Amino acid sequence: MKYFIKEENPNNPYQIFKYEKFEIPLKEIILFKQHQTESVTYALYSEEGIVYLLTSVSVINNCICGNGNYGKPYCKIEEINRYSLDKLDQDAYNWYLTQAR
């Protein structure tokens, strides 16, 4: 993987990154969005045909920055058009509440 190293951890399958922090150039981000009602910012990033949901991110120096603990595989790139912004907001917020904090 380009920005992350996948960590095989059967006790926590959603903890997929070895690195604590990441920086991804904005030009490589599919979507960067503030949740409609909650104070959660999230981004969608695609690598090797998989879209990753990254929560609790910020923009610094034209890069999306955040902690590796806040990412998970979301869907295949060809499936992303099936998701509305409302669905993405809901999934990002649910992921943030259940796993990312």
Please report the pLDDT score of residue 63 as a whole number.
92
Q: For the chain, what are the domain ranges? A: 21-100
Please report the pLDDT score of residue 78 as a whole number.
93
pLDDT tens, 6-43? Answer: 666 656 555 555 556 788 999 999 989 887 777 778 88
pTM for the model stands at 0.75
Residue 61's Cβ-count burial label (10 Å; 0-12, 13-18, 19+) is exposed
Instruction: Give the β-pairing of 50-55 and 21-25.
Output: unpaired
